[in-house]
């Protein structure tokens, strides 16, 4: 199955046809093996594009681990927060709601992102909810909490990203402290945050490595299990990091992490 699946069949909330973007959707990469988990992939691109090298190739690699994958086409700028978060939360709900149909274990749904997609994955993990039991839409009754998440050179803390990134995502100078907190993953870490896999390079000149270091410290403070890997070589937007010494080993470390948590 490769046909994209709309996140909302009857229209996504806050969707604006005038913007000219396609409705948010999932592209499935199913292994055919029953009872395994699934990982939703969020490519990076500064919320301006979906970087191709961080989308399908990552899903194909996850399949090689025996795990199902879905590439999320979330909405981009000029959409603002919380639209992208709504897409990520809906993706988790949808995969969990339709897990039996696809032969997926509903108790093992993860989300992984790169750079801005890492921000989205971390935000989805820290801003999750249990669903609305009174919702008319059955998918909305399902929890949006991923069972684990991975942030690859992600924007895990707004303290370590450009003002331009924050301004574009929040919508400008009229933002409030509450809005900034709502879109800052590190500010939303709690004991309910799921296990995390984090990796970064020390040489990253776009999203400083301190973003992952500080985020790991917040996870430690709240007793959340995590695996943090900092590699000496490479910069930013590396994807699978093929051919980069040491850094190219990160997918195997993720594979081990997925297996250890039952995926």
pLDDT at 178: 87
pLDDT above 80: residue 189: yes
Q: What is the pLDDT of residues 19-33, one digit of tens each?
A: 999 999 999 999 999
| Domain map (residue ranges) of the chain | 5-12+22-260
Q: Are 51 and 116 in contact (CB under 8 A)?
A: no
CB-based contact 231:127 (threshold 8 Å): no
Phi/psi for 100 (5° steps) reads -60, -40
Task: Yes or no: say if 201 and 235 are a contact pair by the CB < 8 Å rule.
Answer: yes
User: 250 CB contacts (<8 Å, ≥6 apart)?
Assistant: 152, 199, 229, 231, 241
What pLDDT is attached to residue 81?
A: 95
Instruction: State pTM to two decimals.
Output: 0.97
Burial 22-38 (b: 16+ CB within 10 A, else e): ebbbbbbbbbeeeebbb
Please, what is the average pLDDT of the chain?
96
What is the pLDDT, as a whole number, of residue 28? 98
User: Which token pair is 245?
Assistant: 């010494």
Architecture (CATH level 2) of domain 5-12+22-260: 3-Layer(aba) Sandwich (3.40)
Are the C-beta atoms of residues 96 and 23 closer than 8 Å to each other?
no
The residue whose two tokens read 């297996």 is 259
């Amino acid at each position: 199955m490769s046909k994209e699946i709309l996140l909302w069949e009857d229209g996504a909330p806050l969707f604006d046809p005038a913007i000219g973007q396609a409705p948010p959707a999932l592209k499935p990469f199913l292994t055919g093996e029953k009872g395994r988990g699934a990982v939703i992939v969020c490519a990076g691109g500064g919320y301006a594009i979906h970087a191709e090298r961080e989308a399908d190739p990552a899903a194909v690699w996850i399949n090689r681990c025996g795990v199902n994958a879905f590439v999320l086409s979330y909405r981009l700028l000029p959409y603002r927060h919380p639209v992208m978060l709504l897409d990520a939360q809906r993706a988790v709900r949808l995969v969990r709601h339709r897990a039996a149909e696809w032969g997926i274990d509903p108790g093992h749904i993860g989300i992984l992102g790169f750079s801005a997609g890492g921000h989205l994955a971390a935000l989805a993990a820290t801003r999750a909810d249990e669903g609305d039991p009174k919702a008319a839409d059955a998918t909305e009754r399902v929890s949006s909490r991923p069972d684990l998440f991975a942030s690859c050179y992600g924007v895990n803390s707004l303290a370590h990203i450009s003002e331009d990134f924050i301004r574009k995502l929040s919508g400008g100078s009229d933002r409030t402290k509450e809005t900034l907190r709502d879109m800052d993953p590190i500010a939303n870490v709690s004991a309910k945050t799921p296990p995390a896999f984090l990796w970064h390079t020390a040489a990253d000149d776009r999203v400083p490595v301190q973003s992952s270091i500080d985020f790991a410290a917040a996870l430690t403070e709240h007793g959340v299990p995590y695996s943090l890997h900092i590699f000496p070589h490479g910069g930013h937007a590396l994807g699978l990091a093929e051919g980069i010494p040491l850094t190219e080993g990160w997918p195997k470390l993720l594979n081990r992490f997925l297996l250890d948590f039952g995926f």
